[in-house]
Amino acid sequence: MLHRMQLMPIGRFSRLTGLGVKALRNYDEVGLLVPAAVDDETGYRFYSPDQVDRAETIRLLRRLDMPLEEIRSTLAADDPVALRAALVSHQRQMAGRDAEIRASMGQLQRLIDGKETIMGMRSESLQDEEHRRLGIDLYNRTWTLMDSPGDEMLYCAHASAYHWMQSGGTTANRARSEWLCSRVYSILGRPEPALHHARRCLELVESSPAEMEDWDIAGAHEALARAHLTAGDMDEARRNYELAREETAKIANPEDAKHIAADLDALPL
């Protein structure tokens, strides 16, 4: 067994590999990247230098938008032929999704330019289930692009919101779409739209509490804290940060609470 002095705490391993702490915890839970040791008393995770190569491989494949289960099964095979076959298969899937996303972005641009109208518009070519699938794919794609933020990340977030709206999604779906838009604008350093979407998220959450999960209100205040921080309004950022902490403490599922707590821990407040 490796001596504890050779092991790295999760924060150091995160900085070394470029994988976020939240991602590392998730990879441990799904068996993709299990720590070399876990402290029995504190639950702290520790990683060995030998795990850096695997972590960097996972990071590369995630940036290529490969699903976690495909990465896990491919790495478990430990076979270059199997890896190449998985990459070729994933390339074909991405090509299909890319064509759908380009079509969605083209329609979104026509809406922005006023060449089409949203009011009363229902797509004749896509069914509700297809809109939902695109909404989910674009949501996940937005998260992937947060490692290299830019226009594509922004357009994917708005396109995801559009498809959820077209699918007849719930108020909760709409609130989470607003949360995502606020997040990407904060990442891009654009406080005005970040605040607009965060406020809209909170409005939707408070308008239909019966439709929400117990973590939605905490997420809404986290978005507002982040947006106010982007705007340089420290008082409002701290106020919403504290509200988010209070609501996080009320979340029944520890896993849900842990993810929002990690987002709050990352805020310099």
Mean pLDDT of the chain: 87
Least confident of 133-137, 173-177, 248-252: 133-137
Question: Are the C-beta atoms of 221 and 177 separated by less than 8 Å?
Answer: no
Domain membership flag for residue 21: yes
Q: What is the pLDDT of residue 65?
A: 81
Residue 128: pLDDT band with limits 50, 70, 90: confident
Domain membership flag for residue 2: yes
**pLDDT surpassing 80 at residue 100:** no
Task: Please count the structural domains in the chain.
Answer: 1
Residue 172: pLDDT band with limits 50, 70, 90: very high
Tokens at residue 230, please? 């982007």
Residue 218: pLDDT band with limits 50, 70, 90: very high
Domain membership flag for residue 181: no
Domain membership flag for residue 142: no
Edge to edge, what strands does the sheet with 37-38 contain? Answer: 8-9, 45-47, 37-38
Domain membership flag for residue 194: no
> Which CATH number fits the domain that encloses residue 47?
1.10.1660.10
Q: What angle do CA 226, 214, 264 make, to 5 degrees?
A: 25
Question: Are the C-beta atoms of 46 and 35 separated by less than 8 Å?
Answer: yes
Domain that holds residue 34: 1-78
Domain membership flag for residue 220: no
**pLDDT surpassing 90 at residue 189:** yes
Residue 102: partners with Cβ closer than 8 Å, 6 or more residues away: none
Q: What is the pLDDT of residue 117?
A: 61
SS3 132: helix
Tokens at residue 96, please? 């299909």
Tokens at residue 52, please? 């850096």
Tell me what the mean pLDDT of segment 129-152 comes to.
88
What region does 168 belong to: left with phi over 0, alpha with psi -120 to 50, or beta? left
Q: Please, where are the H alpha helices in the chain?
A: 10-17, 21-29, 52-63, 68-77, 80-112, 128-145, 151-166, 171-187, 191-207, 216-231, 234-248, 254-265
Domain membership flag for residue 245: no
Domain membership flag for residue 55: yes
- CA-CA distance, 56 to 157, in Å (whole number)? 26
SS3 170: coil
